[in-house]
Structure 1
Amino acid sequence: MTSQSTPRHSLEGLELLSSAVIILDSDSRIVYANAAAENLFESSVKALVSQRLGDLFLNGDHLADVFEEALQHRFADKRLDLTLERAGREALQVHVIVTAVDNPETPVLIELRENVQQLKLDREERLLDQSQANKELIRNLAHEIKNPLGGIRGAAQLLEFELPERQLKELREYTQVIIKEADRLQTLVDRLLAPHRRPHIVGDVNIHEVCERVRSLIMAEFPQGLSIKRDYDLSVPEFRGDKEQLIQAVLNIAHNAAQALSKQIKGGDAQITLQTRVARQVTLAKIRYRLALDLHIVDNGPGIPPDIQDRIFYPLVSGREGGSGLGLTLAQTFVQQHMGVIECTSKPGCTDFRILIPLP
Structure 2
Amino acid sequence: MKFVEAYDLLATTVLLLNSEGEVVVANSAAEAMFGRSRRHLIGQPAVQLFDRDPSVEQSIRQACQGELADCRQFAMIRRGFEPVEVAVTSIALTQQPWSALLEIKDIEQSVLVDRSVRIVEEIDKQHELLRNLAHEVKNPLGGLRGAAQLLESELPDPSLQEYTRVIISEADRLQTLVDRLAAPQRMPVQWQSVNIHEICERVCALIRAEFRDVAILRDYDASMPEFKADQARLMQALLNVVRNAAQILSANPATTSPRITIKTRVARQVLLKHKQHRMAVVVSVIDNGPGVPDTLRDRIFHPLVTGRDGGTGLGLSLAQDFLQQHGGVIEFDSHPGHTEFRLLLPLEPL
Larger Rg: 1
1:328 pairs with 2:316: yes
Pairs aligned (count): 267
Q: Which residue of 152, 165, 172 corresponds with 1:160?
A: 152
Q: Which residue of 236, 249, 271 corresponds with 1:248?
A: 236
- Contact kept, 8 Å, 2:112 with 2:331, in 1: the verdict is no
- Contact kept, 8 Å, 1:281 with 1:291, in 2: the verdict is yes
Distance 1:120 1:199, change over 3 A: same
SS at match of 2:285: strand
CA displacement at 1:344 relative to structure 2: 0.9
RMSD of equivalent CA atoms: 3.1
- Contact kept, 8 Å, 2:301 with 2:316, in 1: the verdict is yes
Aligned residue runs from structure 1 range 114-133, under 5 A: 116=108, 118-133=110-125
Q: Which residue of 213, 216, 219 corresponds with 1:231?
A: 219
1:338 counterpart letter in structure 2: H
1:137 pairs with 2:129: yes
1:187-214 deviations in whole A, cap 9, x for unaligned?
A: 1112112212223111001100110111
1:355 counterpart letter in structure 2: L
SS at match of 1:261: helix
The equivalent of 2:173 in structure 1 is 184
Separation in 2 of the partners of 1:336 and 1:226? 29
1:212 counterpart letter in structure 2: E
1:84-122 deviations in whole A, cap 9, x for unaligned?
A: xxxxxxxxxx877799xxxxxxxxxxxxx9955554443
1:287 counterpart letter in structure 2: K
Distance 1:95 1:141, change over 3 A: farther
Separation in 1 of the partners of 2:219 and 2:245? 17
The equivalent of 1:352 in structure 2 is 340
- Contact kept, 8 Å, 2:189 with 2:230, in 1: the verdict is yes
- Contact kept, 8 Å, 2:194 with 2:228, in 1: the verdict is yes
Instruction: Please report the TM-score for the alignment, with normalisation by the length of structure 1.
Output: 0.67
Separation in 1 of the partners of 2:255 and 2:262? 21
Structure of greater relative contact order (alpha carbons < 8 Å, 6+ residues apart): 2
CA displacement at 1:149 relative to structure 2: 1.0
Distance 1:227 1:142, change over 3 A: same
Separation in 2 of the partners of 1:281 and 1:312? 27
- Contact kept, 8 Å, 1:303 with 1:349, in 2: the verdict is yes
Aligned residue runs from structure 1 range 1-360, under 5 A: 76-79=68-71, 116=108, 118-165=110-157, 168-169=158-159, 171-222=160-211, 224-263=212-251, 269-360=257-348
- Contact kept, 8 Å, 2:255 with 2:289, in 1: the verdict is no
Distance 1:298 1:145, change over 3 A: same
Separation in 2 of the partners of 1:152 and 1:193? 20
Separation in 2 of the partners of 1:307 and 1:282? 29
CA displacement at 1:268 relative to structure 2: 7.7
1:150 counterpart letter in structure 2: G
SS at match of 2:193: strand
SS at match of 1:323: coil
2:306 counterpart letter in structure 1: S
1:227 counterpart letter in structure 2: A
SS at match of 1:310: coil
- Contact kept, 8 Å, 2:192 with 2:231, in 1: the verdict is yes
2:181 counterpart letter in structure 1: L
Separation in 2 of the partners of 1:116 and 1:78? 23
Which structure 2 segments of 5+ residues have no match? 1-50, 56-65, 74-86, 93-104
2:139 counterpart letter in structure 1: N
1:260-287 deviations in whole A, cap 9, x for unaligned?
A: 1115679882211110011111111222
Separation in 2 of the partners of 1:143 and 1:294? 35
Instruction: Please report the TM-score for the alignment, with normalisation by the length of structure 2.
Output: 0.69
Q: Which runs of 4+ in 1 moved over 6 A?
A: 94-99, 265-268
- Contact kept, 8 Å, 1:225 with 1:267, in 2: the verdict is no
CA displacement at 1:181 relative to structure 2: 1.2
Which structure 1 segments of 5+ residues have no match? 1-16, 22-73, 82-93, 100-112
